Amino acid sequence: MKLLKLGMSVAAFSAVMASSTLAMADEYKIVVLQSLTGGAAFIGKHVADGAVMAADELNEKGFFGAGNSLVYEVADDATDRTQTLSLITRLAADDKVLLVMGPTSGSVALAGANVANERAFPVLTTTNSMEVVENGPWSFILTQPADVTIPYLADFTAQTLGAKSCAIIGVKDNEAYVALQRKYEELIQAQGVSLASVDGVALADSDFSALATKIATSDQDCVFIGTPAAQAANMVIQLRQAGLDPSIPILGHNAFASPAFIEKGGAAVENVYLIGAWVPGGDDEFSQAFAANFQAKTGVSADEWHAVGYSGMQVIANAIKDAVAAGKVTREGVRDALGAQTDIPVVIGEGTYSYDEHRVPRFGMKVMQVKDGAFTVVEQ
């Protein structure tokens, strides 16, 4: 009689072990809640696209260890307070969700922060509003507040350009843009630069002929435009057409750091100054690789908000990894780890991202100028 051999083939054993490993794999779930529609979609959709790309890359590289992964869902806050509150309330009730990346704009972010702090649920909002941070220990901001970013541009205006009076044009129906404009006004006036004029436009506006004529025929030695990139490019074109003296510098904040600014503005935007956390195309190995991969994957050039989303996901992933290492993969553990993040490699600013002791993000800005149809960093 033949004896049956106990055991199994190498292939069968490997299959069982692989199945066992997969069964033991950990998944860390987050939700990317951004304005995919509504008034802030020009920010939120791009942040979400950058964040998703980062999450996929991190999983492909095995960032969380063999078999482990970051599981994400993408949801739309629609730039709507009611929808935001409903979504965050529902997500807070799902104990598998460790963190929400969002919502996007300041108005809905603050409402979301209220719910998050009531429910002990970490949210990393895209806005730069310090009210979100001040709301409680569970709400964070992803982007640097105006107190951090605008001094780069204000100092450049007053000290490097030596401006004495500046015409201001800003968006009046976006809270974040208004905050940036007001901080710029405050800081240049503190350095002796007067406001030649202050005008507001709506995000939906496109005909600036009357305003352009007014500015072009007025007396100022700089013009600040605080609008999204494509709208600003249109405005610069109309200012040039109205006869604005080419020697008068035009400046804008980090919204200009988008390929759309040059694509829409063409020759008209040559020599315009701006600040940005993102140098389109990248300016080091990490950021250049991101730019190339994003172009290849999406068919579009990465702008500042794509880069912010990509960088934000790097910060979130490192926080979760630190919470895992500390044996505290809970909402509280992730919250504590997030606030302790320092020197995380990112594709924005000076290349590293840190939270200070007040949970204010710090990653730096650069002064740039459009030269020969490209963004170039201004040496100071």
Q: Do 27-144+285-363 and 147-276 show the same overall fold?
A: yes
DSSP classification of residue 161: S
Report the pLDDT value the prediction gives residue 211, as an integer from 0 to 100: 98
Phi, psi of 327 (to 5 degrees): 70, 30
Q: 3-state class of 175 per DSSP?
A: helix
pLDDT over 80 (residue 19): no
pLDDT class of 42 with cuts at 50, 70, 90: confident
pLDDT over 70 (residue 216): yes
Compute how many other C-beta atoms are within 10 angstroms of the C-beta atom of residue 37. Answer: 15
- The number of CA neighbours under 13 Å toward the Cβ of 250 is 26
Mean pLDDT of the chain: 92
- Determine the average pLDDT of the residues in 216-240: 96
| Verdict on whether the full-model pTM lies above 0.95 | no
User: What tens digit of pLDDT does each residue of 43-64 get?
Assistant: 899 999 999 999 999 999 999 9
**Domain range list for the chain:** 27-144+285-363, 147-276
User: What tens digit of pLDDT does each residue of 263-313 get?
Assistant: 999 999 999 999 999 988 998 999 999 999 999 999 999 988 999 999 999
- The topology (CATH level 3) of 147-276 is Rossmann fold (3.40.50)
pLDDT class of 24 with cuts at 50, 70, 90: low
What is the distance between the alpha carbons of residues 361 and 182, in angstroms, rounded to a whole number?
20
User: What tens digit of pLDDT does each residue of 68-83 get?
Assistant: 999 999 999 999 999 9
Element (H, E) at 274: strand 273-276
pLDDT over 80 (residue 120): yes
Using H for helix, E for strand and C for coil, what is the string for 57-116?
HHHHCCCCCCCCEEEEEEEECCCCHHHHHHHHHHHHCCCCEEEEECCCCHHHHHHHHHHH
pLDDT class of 257 with cuts at 50, 70, 90: confident
Report the pLDDT value the prediction gives residue 380, as an integer from 0 to 100: 64
Tell me the CATH class for 27-144+285-363: alpha beta
Residues above pLDDT 70, as percent of the chain? 93
